[in-house]
């Protein structure tokens, strides 16, 4: 294990979270707490696994050989450092920079609110009953809101509110594809399609669908959403849904729609969109694309230069207890 990484972990570690994780594992498997603590530390040293990796991927149920197949926090950090140039992070971290770079892939109008005058904003609102507003550099759905223009006394009042909220972009509301709305109509259910660019070109490594499970306008996992893997060949959901609370869903609890076998519409078009975009910034070779679907086809919601590594390694999605590292090694040397 990299000594620098170990020191950083020790300094930054949430020790209360660590002890809470040890208690959860003890409750789940009955192992002695000291034995669990020792195993967590060992997995950190040997595999670069954080205590959340250990808990969520259930390392306590894996053999040493199986553990070695998982992408852990340290392995993912190595992937990002190997494939992505920090000088270009801003093109994905900042929404207005991403929107400018991939403007032809957005399928909607938007306004750079950091530079917009009241007059610019008032013109943008004309003919619109609803808008989406987003902070420029937040992630995880934080600060994203759908607003009704008529709920505010004037465009000027709404402008002042959004300036006070440090909003970065204002944009059209994406009208969700009717088939995708069957999963959960309260938010835009998105696809996360992860690409790697190597000497042979762009490749899709894995994909999953994120489905909202609340009344919030986002499908983010931190807002109660669930995720499920997508078969790359067929575009069908291939395993049950799962959430951050370690709950498994055969059907959506709000809509009753069966998840396994659900056909993602415009699947081939969605893959083509991501493969095309993956070559646009060749300095960024490992990207997670968030794709929304309308009745007209796919579009980008955003791009991520630090794709989530744990999602498809959860127990319901790894019945063979083999992680994603062997798949990544098909496309990346040196990991």
| pLDDT tens-digit series, residues 15-52 | 788 999 999 999 999 999 999 999 999 999 999 999 99
Query: What is the predicted pLDDT for the residue at 17?
Result: 85
pLDDT in tens, 245-279: 889 999 999 999 999 999 999 999 999 999 999 99
- Options 3.30.1490.20, 3.30.2350.10, 3.10.20.30, 3.40.47.10; CATH for 109-171 is 3.30.1490.20
The pTM of the full predicted model, rounded to 2 decimals, is: 0.91
Q: Could you tell me whether strands 167-171 and 130-135 are parallel, antiparallel, or unpaired per DSSP bridges?
A: antiparallel
Domain 84-100+176-329 fold: D-amino Acid Aminotransferase; Chain A, domain 1 (3.30.470)
pLDDT of residue 221: 61
| pLDDT of 109 above 80 | yes
Shared fold status for 84-100+176-329 and 109-171: no
Q: Are 105 and 300 a contacting pair, CB within 8 Å?
A: yes
Mean pLDDT of the chain: 93
- φ/ψ (deg, to 5) at 214: -155, -175
The tens digit of pLDDT for each residue in 272-326 reads 999 999 999 999 999 999 999 999 999 999 999 999 888 889 999 999 999 999 9
Of 322, 247, 320, residue with least CA distance to 65: 322
pLDDT digits (tens, 9 = 90+) for 77-107: 999 999 999 999 999 999 999 999 999 999 9
pLDDT digits (tens, 9 = 90+) for 166-212: 999 999 999 999 999 999 998 899 999 999 999 999 999 999 999 99
Q: What is the DSSP string of 78-116?
A: HHHHHHB-GGGTHHHHSHHHHHHHTGGGS-S-EEETTT-
At residue 296, φ and ψ (nearest 5 deg) are: -95, -10
Domain ranges of the chain: 3-68, 84-100+176-329, 109-171
């Amino acid at each position: 294990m990299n000594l620098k990484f170990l020191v950083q972990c020790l300094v930054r570690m949430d020790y209360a979270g660590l002890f809470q994780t040890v208690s959860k594992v003890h409750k789940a498997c009955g192992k002695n707490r000291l034995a669990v603590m020792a195993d967590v530390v060992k997995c950190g040293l040997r595999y670069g696994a954080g205590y959340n990796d250990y808990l969520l991927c259930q390392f306590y149920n894996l053999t040493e050989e199986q553990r070695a197949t998982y992408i852990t926090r340290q392995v993912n950090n190595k992937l990002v450092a190997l494939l992505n140039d920090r000088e270009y992070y801003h093109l994905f971290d900042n929404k207005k920079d991403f929107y400018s770079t991939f403007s032809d892939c957005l399928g909607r109008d938007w306004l750079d609110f950091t530079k917009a005058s009241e007059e610019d904003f008032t013109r943008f609102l004309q003919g619109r009953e609803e808008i989406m507003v987003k902070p420029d550099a937040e992630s995880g759905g934080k600060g994203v809101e759908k607003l009704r223009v008529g709920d505010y006394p004037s465009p000027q009042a709404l402008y002042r509110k959004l300036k006070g909220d440090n909003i970065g972009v204002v944009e059209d509301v994406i009208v969700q594809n009717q088939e995708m709305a069957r999963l959960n109509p309260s938010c835009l259910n998105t696809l996360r399609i992860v690409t790697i660019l190597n000497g042979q070109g762009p490749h899709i490594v894995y994909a999953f669908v994120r489905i909202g499970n609340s009344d919030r306008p986002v499908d983010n996992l931190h807002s109660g959403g669930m995720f499920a893997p997508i078969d790359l060949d067929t575009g069908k959901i291939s395993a049950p849904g799962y959430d951050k609370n370690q709950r498994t869903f055969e059907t959506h609890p709000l809509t009753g729609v069966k998840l396994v076998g659900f056909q993602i519409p415009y699947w081939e078009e969605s893959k083509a969109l991501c493969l095309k975009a993956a070559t646009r910034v060749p300095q960024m070779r490992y990207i997670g694309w968030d794709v929304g679907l309308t009745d007209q086809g796919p579009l980008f919601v955003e791009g991520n230069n630090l794709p989530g590594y744990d999602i498809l390694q959860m127990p319901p999605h790894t019945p063979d207890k083999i992680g994603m590292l062997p798949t990544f090694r098909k496309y990346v040397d040196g990991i």
